[in-house]
């Protein structure tokens, strides 16, 4: 969106500098739901445009190399016409190997530059959190902003490793195994609702990586990596006492409850687990599985956590 409040078009998104600075570190800011949605869309669109340019550049690099390579064979018959033409295939032939090296280096640098400037992850926020913020927007105070912090780094890294342990199996050909457990906070944030209730949320990815060394039927050793991920979404709500009364009974099995002088504080969590909920879509060789859940299903389940907290209180008369 520009300074006049108009929505940016595709060409204007290209020059927007704010997203690139956040792509690898993640981001931490406060925006209204509408501005968050536009921000996510801008990030996704910038990456798509840059990816199109990258593909065209790589195609051009290899098109030039293929031109040199094919030209070597096309110009070879010219030597039968006149010895003077011999210099063409010889020159082109001498350029084939250096041209191949240059093409490989330029392709590598182009891909590296793209990865340095643009990271994955905003597609998820553009879909899932845009839908969630759209539902939350009507319950916010006028011009109220949502504070959101996101971590766009990969989960399977040393800094996210929680523990590793040995794994054993009775399956045929099994030699040895190991399990690595990782945890990454994808995002966390807060917002103020119209009734002065405070909502704090945290979305986490917990991944188990199983490394299995086994012997195949041919006798060769093979290493397999299998993954299972779960995604807890935790809501903590502080509901003001001067506007609500606590219900006589609160189910503390599903809801954590404490209170202070001004608020009733509830904490509830919902774990998204594809293997349990959608086993037909579970792929043990795929690291991330959150996109197996429909966008509407995800956002409504999160809203249901807020409603669960509200079910523990009654508006004061």
pLDDT by residue (tens digit) across 41-75? 888 888 888 889 999 999 999 998 888 888 777 77
pLDDT at 85: 61
Alpha-helical (H) ranges within 184-245 are none
Distance, CA of 200 to CA of 81 (rounded, Å):
81
User: Is residue 16 located within the same domain as residue 87?
Assistant: yes
Q: Could you tell me which of 280, 302, 269 has the C-alpha nearest to residue 128?
A: 302
Q: Is residue 235 pLDDT above 50, yes or no?
A: yes
pLDDT at 248: 85
User: Is residue 193 located within the same domain as residue 275?
Assistant: yes
CB 13 within 8 A of CB 111: no
Average pLDDT, the chain: 84
Report yes or no on 284 lying in a domain: yes
Report yes or no on 137 lying in a domain: no
Q: Is residue 106 pLDDT above 80, yes or no?
A: yes
Report yes or no on 129 lying in a domain: no
Distance, CA of 266 to CA of 314 (rounded, Å):
14
User: Is residue 164 located within the same domain as residue 302?
Assistant: yes
Last residue of a domain, one of 88, 119, 150: 119
User: Is residue 184 located within the same domain as residue 86?
Assistant: no
Q: Could you tell me which of 115, 136, 125 has the C-alpha nearest to residue 27?
A: 125
pLDDT at 25: 60
User: Is residue 162 located within the same domain as residue 276?
Assistant: yes
Among 18-22, 44-48, 83-87, 308-312, name the most confident range: 308-312
pLDDT in tens, 140-194: 988 889 999 988 888 899 999 999 999 988 888 888 999 999 999 999 999 999 9
Based on the number of CB atoms within 10 Å of its own CB, is 90 exposed (0-12), middle (13-18) or buried (19 or more)? middle
Whose structure tokens read 């002088």? 261
Query: What is the radius of gyration, based on Cα positions, of the chain?
Result: 28
Report yes or no on 127 lying in a domain: no
CA 270-37-184 angle, to 5 degrees, is 40
User: Is residue 54 located within the same domain as residue 165?
Assistant: no
Q: Could you tell me which of 62, 59, 28, 21 has the C-alpha nearest to residue 42?
A: 21
Whose structure tokens read 């687990």? 273
Distance, CA of 229 to CA of 155 (rounded, Å):
10
Report yes or no on 158 lying in a domain: yes
User: Is residue 112 located within the same domain as residue 153?
Assistant: no
Local confidence band at 115 (pLDDT 50, 70, 90 cut-offs):
confident
The encoded tokens of residue 221 equal: 């050793």
Distance, CA of 208 to CA of 182 (rounded, Å):
6
User: Is residue 111 located within the same domain as residue 147?
Assistant: no
User: Is residue 14 located within the same domain as residue 95?
Assistant: yes
Last residue of a domain, one of 85, 119, 153: 119
pLDDT at 3: 38
- Structurally, how many domains does the chain consist of? 2
Report yes or no on 135 lying in a domain: no
* Bridge partner list, 232: 271
User: Is residue 28 located within the same domain as residue 150?
Assistant: no
Q: Is residue 21 pLDDT above 50, yes or no?
A: no
Structural domain that includes position 279: 142-315
Q: Which run of H or of E encompasses 190? A: strand 174-192
Query: What is the pTM for the complete model shown?
Result: 0.78
Last residue of a domain, one of 104, 119, 134: 119
User: Is residue 297 located within the same domain as residue 233?
Assistant: yes
User: Is residue 110 located within the same domain as residue 184?
Assistant: no
pLDDT at 16: 46
CB 247 within 8 A of CB 313: yes
- Contacts of residue 130, defined as CB under 8 A and 6 or more positions apart, other chains included, come to 36, 37, 40, 41
């Amino acid at each position: 969106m520009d300074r006049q409040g108009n929505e940016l078009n595709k060409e204007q998104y290209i020059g927007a500098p704010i997203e690139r600075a956040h792509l690898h570190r993640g981001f931490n800011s406060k925006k209204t739901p509408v501005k968050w949605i536009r921000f996510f869309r801008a990030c996704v669109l910038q990456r798509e445009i840059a990816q199109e340019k990258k593909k065209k550049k790589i195609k051009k690099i290899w098109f030039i190399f293929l031109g040199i390579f094919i030209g070597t064979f096309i110009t070879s018959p010219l030597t039968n016409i006149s010895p003077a033409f011999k210099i063409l295939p010889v020159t082109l032939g001498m350029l084939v190997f250096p041209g191949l090296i240059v093409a490989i280096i330029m392709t590598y640098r182009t891909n590296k530059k793209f990865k340095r400037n643009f990271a994955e992850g905003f597609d998820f926020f553009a879909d899932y959190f845009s839908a969630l913020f759209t539902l939350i927007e009507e319950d916010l105070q006028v011009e109220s902003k949502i504070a959101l912090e996101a971590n766009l780094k990969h989960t399977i890294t040393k800094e996210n490793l929680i523990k590793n342990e040995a794994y054993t199996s009775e399956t045929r050909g099994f030699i040895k195994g190991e399990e690595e457990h990782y945890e990454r906070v994808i995002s966390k944030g807060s917002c103020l609702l119209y009734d002065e209730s405070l909502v704090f949320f945290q979305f986490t990815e917990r991944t188990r990586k199983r490394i299995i060394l086994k012997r195949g039927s041919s006798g060769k050793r093979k290493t397999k990596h299998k993954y299972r991920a779960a995604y807890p979404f935790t809501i903590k709500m502080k509901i003001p006492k001067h506007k609500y009364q606590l219900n006589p009974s609160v189910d503390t099995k599903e809801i954590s409850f404490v209170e202070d002088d001004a608020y009733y504080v509830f904490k509830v969590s919902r774990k998204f687990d594809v293997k349990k909920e959608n086993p037909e879509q579970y792929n043990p060789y795929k690291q991330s599985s959150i996109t197996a859940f429909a966008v509407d299903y995800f956002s409504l389940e999160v809203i249901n956590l807020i409603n669960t907290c509200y079910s523990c209180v009654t508006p004061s008369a």
